[in-house]
Amino acid sequence: MNDNNLLEKVVALAKRRGFIFPGSEIYGGLAGTWDYGPMGVEFKNNLKRLWWKDIVYHRDDMVGIDAAIMMNPKAWEASGHVEAFTDPLVECKVCHKRFRADHMFELLEAIHRKSTRAGAISLTDKQKDMLLCEKKPGEHELKDFTEPKNFNLLVKAYLGIIEGQQSEIFLRGEITNGVHVNFRNVVDSTRVKIPFGIAQMGKAFRNEITPGNFIYRSREFEQMETQFYIKPNDEEGEKWFEYWKKDRMDWYLSLGIKPDNIRFRDHEDKERAHYARLATDIEYNTPWGWQEIMGIHHRGDWDLSRHGKFSGKNMTYKDSITGEEFIPWDIETSAGVDRSILFLLFDAYTEDEKRVYLKLNPKIAPIKAAVFPLLGNKPELIDLAKKIYRDLQEKIDGKIAWDDRGNIGKRYLYQDEIGTPFCITVDFQSLEDQTVTVRDRDSMKQERVKIEDLYLKLQKYLL
């Protein structure tokens, strides 16, 4: 990424054009929460719908579920989250600001690397905030940190209406558990046979120590995950792990992410959870370096075994042909919806001398097409444009926009900024020959298209 201000530009556009707003903004916000606006919700729903189509509808070996966010707390003990879902935290003894110790070490390492080369070291405001306390305006001293201590990320909630008799529960810290606890239910209620997967999308909550970088790290976010259950043997494990790596990378590339901006990063032994046999991240090249967008983990039988042990229920699977009984292994893919949105925005953000536009794949663009009458005060143009608009609303699976305000140039610029791939204009010629102009967002070229061919033309790009 060579645009140092890309994050700021994307945050500003997201606010200005109704993609993403700070959560509870009129009350001064709530750290680590974000609200999706009229464009953001369309963008997010399009992305989720594409994911679901690809993962559930286009496969024979995957079913979906939608489990509750609130779960019996024993599920979180079984999965190890109560004991070990932690990040190391350091606190400055002077200003009491808290930071993740691993982030602090990464920063110190980077400074050390730079200091061995010639030249002055420049720090961003965020990095200065991590290292320095302001004694008086303009005067700084180095922060004085406590030893790192582990901080549990699970968000607590209280269920029940009688004070003193409420039970403490957790909002789910990841969506995985809701799938594993339903393994038996899915096997018993459907015709699935191993190898098969269960897909789920939904909200997760974490008491992140340092939420930041816009929606990259928030305290409430969404995940889209698959748990793919296989026979417990090494060959199968490696085969499916490689399969899912390729499959998920291909999916991100199919959305139009530039290949140079996305890569795999295999986990080193020391960072892998003790139960994870293999682990890889898919990373995106953000303005602040390569960052995780999704994790692919070979989790062995860890989850099903633990839930079997803690619940006392049988989590084995019986092969109907061989009669073999075993606890399946699981290959997990776990992606952040919000991070995917942010990285797609980075990738699509484009500036030239004339305009700012989002080069989004039409399949995920919030608005599929916009319809304009050339002039907003000519009833005959408005009537025909409205007819086209209503027809496309009926036929196209996604939002169609209407705009009759201001001049055409301004309308185009507005649609460019929100990434609308096509603008359709009804002009006086349309009344004569039943054609309209279709303007392409990226090339800005206009072509005349017969009204009766419009739907097929758009559909070619949207399917």
Q: Which residues bind ligand ATP (CB under 6 A)?
A: 174, 206, 208, 217-218, 221, 223, 292-295, 334-336, 338-339
CB 289 within 8 A of CB 336: no
Q: Least separation, in Å, of the C-beta of 292 and ligand ATP?
A: 4
Interior angle at CA 425, CA 419 and CA 427, nearest 5: 165
| Nearest residue to the partner ligand ATP, using Cβ | 336
Q: Which is nearer to ligand ATP, 174 or 403 (CB)?
A: 174
CA atoms in the 13 A half-sphere facing the CB of 13: 24
CB of 458 to ligand ATP, least distance (A): 31
Q: For residues 172 and 206, which CB has a smaller minimum distance to ligand ATP in the complex?
A: 206
By beta-carbon proximity to ligand ATP, the closer residue of 174 and 330 is 174
Taken in order 39, 45, 48, 53, the sign of the CA dihedral is: negative
State in angstroms the smallest separation of the CB of 262 from ligand ATP. Answer: 13
Q: Which tokens belong to 207? A: 């008491």
Nearer to ligand ATP, 217 or 299 (CB): 217
Q: Pick from 444, 439, 398: which is nearest to 422 by CA?
A: 439
Of 209 and 360, CB closest to ligand ATP: 209
Nearer to ligand ATP, 184 or 206 (CB): 206
Look up tokens 């889209």; give the residue.
224
Q: Which two tokens stand for residue 417?
A: 């900024």
What minimum distance in Å lies between the beta carbon of 273 and ligand ATP? 10
Residues 6+ apart with CB under 8 A from 312: none
Minimum CB distance to ligand ATP, residue 179 (Å):
14
DSSP class per residue in 165-192: -PEEEEE-SSSHHHHHTTHHHHHHHS--
The amino acid occupying position 73 is: P
Q: Smallest distance, Å, CB 218 to ligand ATP?
A: 4
